[in-house]
Homo-oligomer: A and B are copies of this chain.
């Protein structure tokens, strides 16, 4: 016989990917279903594009990645076309809006939920496939569309039981552009000048939380060396300009009206800046009219969003309750959703500008927040387990389980090797079973079954005062005909 060693494949998820089991799947689905109901109520229609797009259609809009094409999973077809996995849900929407522009209603409100893929270096808690949950309105230039997205976002959080624990912070890129003008890095006569510098300013402000004012000031000026010694080139702004930009990020005042007044001061003579402040005021007024006051929506100039393609309102939703970080320190849960207006994405395809605005919810972060608040609904109870005492009577056990299921009770027959009864109870335990059914040949002859309340049994095992439980035994014997009724009764009690 040959002694060649058989090389077996490794049973492993690829690096940066993961599997989701049972309650993890159910909890996410419950959350997405609730969100979809809110989106639906707002008139948004579902859209499901394929996971695969042409690289050409996807474009180079991957956020926060300096080498854009390297952030996607891509491969070349036999006919030389390059295909790739979508890296977000916005690029496919832009493609759809262009492809079906004659058929879709206009404005087109759509929502999308599904996985996206990023070819990034995986790290702890950093996966290369993750869920997004987006809602966008294409074809509406009015800021009423942006305000609607913010209101809807607030409704989503209320609906998920996070009322009082969130705030939607809004800002406007036009205000930032006004500030850029005032700081001398935007020439309204020639917007192509200083583009690189503005990109650096944008990304610098977006890191304010993480780097603090000094770090951002360094990036606005000559550049910044991080802890590892890596140097990031700055925007090269003179101190006076950096002052203007930093004043912008700190322009938030006690009320929206005061904040807007401060922003008007900062944008000075800039026409685009004044337009941005007008839009902010209009959004705030529309939201206030619907009852979304400053307890839920605030104007906050420190919100800029890292993406280059935003052109007007930008917004970010933050959860304000505190959690403990990995070092045991209290901190706010933080951002779980963000979006804004992007009027040029469809233009790439058609040459015609199409106004669009939308939001993306970070599904995993929001789910983590719900879990932290104890608000996830998993809907997963373990099944009732019908044990197998007598292999030859499998048909009887199947009949019992069939009756339980027809009564709407989650139930299964033990299908492993029935020889060792202890293994069957261990299995029931691992499955989180509330109840086990037992029928040996003696019980079968007498037409009865044993019904074991495993939840109660576990409590008794923990409890010191056994007497308390004596009037409610953990195991009862009933006629087979009472099986379903008795189990129903037990499950009802257990769920109290």
Chain A residues within 8 Å of B, Cβ to Cβ:
6, 8-14, 17-22, 24-26, 29, 40-43, 45-54, 56-57, 59, 73-75, 81, 83, 85, 95-96, 98-100, 105-107, 109, 115, 117, 128-129, 137, 139-142, 144-145, 147-148, 151, 155, 285-286, 289-291, 348-351, 380, 383, 394-396, 398-399, 402, 405, 408-417, 427, 430-431
Query: Which residues from B are CB-within-8-Å of A54?
Result: 9-10, 12, 14
| Contact A398–B147 (Cβ < 8 Å) | yes
Cross-chain contact A9 with B394 (CB below 8 angstroms): no
Secondary structure at the A interface, as helix, strand, loop or mixed, is mixed
Is there an interface contact between B8 and A348, defined as CB atoms closer than 8 Å?
A: yes
Q: Which residues of the other chain, B, contact A26 by a CB distance below 8 angstroms?
A: 46
Minimum C-beta distance from A141 to chain B (A): 8
Instruction: Return 11 A-B CB contacts under 8 Å, by A number.
Output: A8-B350, A13-B99, A18-B50, A19-B49, A19-B96, A21-B47, A75-B75, A105-B431, A144-B394, A289-B396, A291-B402
In the assembled complex, the Cα of A57 lies from the Cα of B13 at a distance in Å of 8
B-chain residues with CB within 8 Å of residue A398 when the two chains form the complex: 144, 147-148, 286, 289-290
- Does the CB pair A56–B290 fall under 8 Å? no
A294 to B49, CA, bound (A): 42
Provided the pairs A46-B22, A129-B52, A408-B41 are in contact, do residues A394 and B139 lie with their beta carbons within 8 angstroms?
Answer: no
Cα A289 to Cα B395 in complex, Å, equals 6
Residues from chain B with a CB closer than 8 A to the CB of A6 are: 351
When distances are taken between beta carbons in the complex, the residues of chain B under 8 Å from A48 are: 19-20, 24-25
Q: Which residues of B contact A12 (CB under 8 A)?
A: 54, 57, 95, 99
When distances are taken between beta carbons in the complex, the residues of chain B under 8 Å from A431 are 43, 105
A386 to B: closest C-beta gap in Å:
10
Cα distance A253–B262 in the bound complex, in angstroms: 88
Q: How far in angstroms is the closest Cβ of chain B from A414?
A: 8
Interchain CB contact under 8 A, A394 and B142: yes
Contact: A380 with B144, CB < 8 Å? no
* A56→B29 CA distance, assembly (Å): 30
A14: chain B residues at CB < 8 Å are 50, 52-54, 81, 83
- Most B Cβ at <10 Å: residue of A14, A54, A99: A14
- Are A105 and B144 in contact (CB-based, < 8 A)? no
Known: A20-B48, A43-B411, A52-B73. 4 other contacts (CB 8 A): A51-B51, A137-B415, A147-B398, A286-B398
Distance (Å) between the CB of A392 and the closest chain B CB? 11
Chain B hits for A417, CB < 8 A: 141
Known contacts A43-B410, A51-B51, A52-B129; is A351 also within 8 Å of B8 by CB?
A: yes
Cross-chain contact B75 with A74 (CB below 8 angstroms): yes
Once A148-B415, A416-B139 are accepted as A-B contacts, the answer to whether A20 and B47 lie under 8 Å apart by CB is: yes
User: Which B residues are in CB contact (< 8 Å) with A349?
Assistant: 8-11
**CA–CA, A369 to B417, complex, Å?**
39
Which residues of the other chain, B, contact A100 by a CB distance below 8 angstroms? 19
Task: Tell me whether A117 and B383 are in contact (CB under 8 A).
Answer: no
User: Could you tell me if B105 and A142 are in contact, using CB atoms closer than 8 angstroms?
Assistant: no
Task: Pick the 3 closest A-B CB pairs, nearest first.
Answer: A43-B412, A11-B98, A140-B415
Point out the residue from B73, B98, B291, B402 that lies within 8 Å of A75, measured CB to CB: B73
A396 to B290, CA, bound (A): 9
Interface contact B399-A290, CB-CB below 8 Å: yes
In the complex, the answer to whether A416 meets B144 with C-beta atoms within 8 Å is no
